Structure formats: C-alpha cells, structure tokens
Amino acid sequence: MKKKRRLPSIVEIVKQQDGRLNIVGMGKWYSYWRDPYHLLLTIPWYGFLALTVLGYLIANTLFALAYLAGGDGIENARPGNFFDAFFFSVQTMASIGYGAMHPRTTYANAVVTVEALVGLMGLAMGTGLMFARFSQPTARVIFSRVAVITPYDGVPTLMFRAANQRRNQILEAQMRVRLMRDEVSVEGQFMRRVYDLNLVRSQNPMFSLSWTAMHPIDKQSPLYGTTPEALDEAETSLVVTLSGLDETVSQSIYSRYTYVSRDILWNMRFVDIVSKTDQGNRFVDYSRFHDVMPL
C-alpha cells in the first residue's frame, strides 16, 4: 500500500515589521527536496551550479570505484590508482575518447556501457533543465511603493501605479486587485476573506510605459465607509496581479505586488510624471514615479 504523505500539523504565519503577513518557509528553495524537478527550477543559480558540479563529481567517483573494483581493467592506467580511474570515467561519461586509456576486460567494458548510458541521460536532463531555467518568462514590472486614496470625479478612489521596466510591449495586459482582510462572522467564526476590487480599467491592449490603476470607493466597494484604523485592525492587504503576453518572447508573463494598510495613504495624490517639452512632445519622468503630495 502506498504511504500517504502527511501535511505539516502547524503552519506558522508571522507579521513582519512592515505589516506584511508571511508564511514561514514559503518560497524557500531548500524546502522542495521531495520535488527535485521543482527544486532545480527554483533554486538560485549558485545552488543549481553547485548541485550540478557535486552530482557530476559523485557520479564519476562512483564509476571510478567501480572500475577499481574490477582490478586492472583499464589499459595504460596505473593499477589501483584512483585518479586514473576517475579521469577515465570523465572521458567515458563525456564521450571524449582520447584513446590513451581504454577498457581491456569484459568487466570494464560492462561498466563503460552503463556509464555511457548514464552520461547520455545526464546530458539530456542537464540540457533540459538549463533550457527550462533560461526560458522561464519573467516580467520586469515595477509598482509604486504606496497606494493613495484621493477624490477623482467627486468619488474617493484608490490608486496605485505600475510601469513596464523593459520598455517593450506587454500585449493584452490584465490587472486584478483583491482585498484581503480578517473578518468574524455573526456566529463568531474567524475567516480571512478575499474580495475582488473593480477597476476603472482592468485591461490594457499595449502596456509599455505606465499604468495608473483606479478603484472607485462607492457603495459597491468593500472599502466603502472604512477608515485607516479599521484597515490596520483587520490586517488588510491588497494583492495586485498583472499578466499579459510579452511581445519579445511571445510568452505569458506574470507579476504581483502586495500593499498592506500602512502602504495606503489617505488624502494624498501621485505627482504627475507626464510632461510636455517646448516642442509639444510628451515625456515620462520615472524619477518621480513613487512621489506623492497632499491634496
């Protein structure tokens, strides 16, 4: 009978100094040893290269010991010399074939056959993993460090900015904002509730420069009638996700950002970053991308 994998009995959620909630251990590459493929895709590059080199050395060491176990089976190798056997294993696994050393017994030829198969499989898997890591689509989208609540057309409106740092086109970009906060039901049950926030414009056919997201706080909004103190007491956070098609690589890309209650500034507005030159041309000043000012 297949043994079922048990889930951890306790998952710790801590509140960081910046007000964000964090699941301890989440996103750490060293917690995925039971899922080696996911581990090798998410581990940092230095860890990936270290594991690759370590695996390569271990494999050649094991085959070198296997050659030594068969006695004097390698032509032109010093009998019982580990380094000669090790470097013969390296030549065999990499299909180099210098010709100076070669197997001369049936046992050595059998080990060479196994090692040649292992080398081909290792090369195929290593190439696939390297390609998968290099070809992973990534988004270089920056979000404003704060969000503001300011009147717009007479309605209090939640606003924040996003910008595409690559200066290429993100086609059919879509942005979604979700409000997360603690609530207690009439029956006294605690729950972390999630609400979708409607944006004035949630889609952008060509996202290349900047994008100001706006959510009107009307009677249909979960933020209607709230206060800064209420947001902080309910551990409120805004989770922003942006997706689209990268024009350069023709692949879907994703980006996300989280605002906590202390990141939401009331009765403030963003500094305008779009200006005109004397010739009538427009330019965007990203040096003031995060700047806000009072009403």
CB contact at 8 A, 152 and 216: yes
In a domain? residue 119? yes
Is residue 13 a part of any domain in this protein? no
Angle among Cα 222, 225, 231 to the nearest 5 degrees reads 70
Non-local (6+) Cβ contacts of 133 within 8 A are 41, 45, 48
Residue 25 inside a domain? The answer is no
Shared domain check, 107 and 128: yes
Indicate whether 240 belongs to any domain.
yes
The pLDDT value given to residue 39: 83
Q: Which pLDDT value is given to residue 278?
A: 74
Question: Do 270 and 201 share a structural domain?
Answer: yes
Identify the domain boundary among 134, 167, 198.
Answer: 134
Q: Which tokens go with 134?
A: 């290099």
Q: Which residues of 181-199 are buried (b: 16+ CB within 10 A; e: fewer)?
A: beeeeeeeeeeeeeeebeb
| Token pair belonging to 180 | 């997360």
Q: What CATH number has the domain bearing residue 70? A: 1.10.287.70
Residue written as tokens 């230095």?
Answer: 46
Q: Which of 109, 134, 159 is the last residue of a domain?
A: 134
pTM: 0.71
Spell out the alpha helix ranges (H) of 141-285.
228-233
In a domain, 4, yes or no: no
On whether both 129 and 61 belong to a single domain, the answer is yes
State the CATH number of the domain containing residue 257: 2.60.40.1400
Which pairing describes strands 274-276 and 268-270: parallel, antiparallel, or unpaired?
unpaired
Q: Do residues 171 and 247 lie in contact, with contact meaning Cβ atoms separated by under 8 Å?
A: yes
The pLDDT tens digits of the residues spanning 53-111 come to 999 999 999 999 999 999 999 999 999 999 999 999 999 998 888 888 999 999 999 99
Mean pLDDT across the stretch 34-48?
85
Span 131-135, average pLDDT: 87
| Residues 117, 145 within the same domain | no
Q: Residue 17 pLDDT > 60, yes or no? A: no
Q: What is the pLDDT of residues 98-107, one digit of tens each?
A: 888 999 999 9
Kind and range of the H or E run holding 48 = helix 45-69
Q: Which residue has the higher pLDDT, 89 or 248?
A: 89
What span, in angstroms and rounded, lies between the C-alpha atoms of 242 and 240? 7
**113, 134, 155 - which closes a domain:** 134
Exposed/middle/buried for residue 8 (C-beta within 10 Å: 0-12, 13-18, 19+) = exposed
149 with 275, same domain: the answer is yes
pLDDT in tens, 175-208: 999 999 998 888 888 998 999 999 999 999 988 8
pLDDT at 8 over 60: no
Would you state the structure tokens that stand for residue 24, as one six-digit string?
């301890």
Which residues form the domain of 202? 141-294
pLDDT band at 27 (very low <50, low <70, confident <90, very high): low
Per-residue pLDDT, averaged over 207-236, amounts to: 92
| 93: helix, strand or coil | helix
165 class by beta-carbon count within 10 Å (0-12 exposed, 13-18 middle, 19+ buried): exposed
143-177: pLDDT as tens digits: 999 999 999 999 999 999 999 888 788 999 999 99
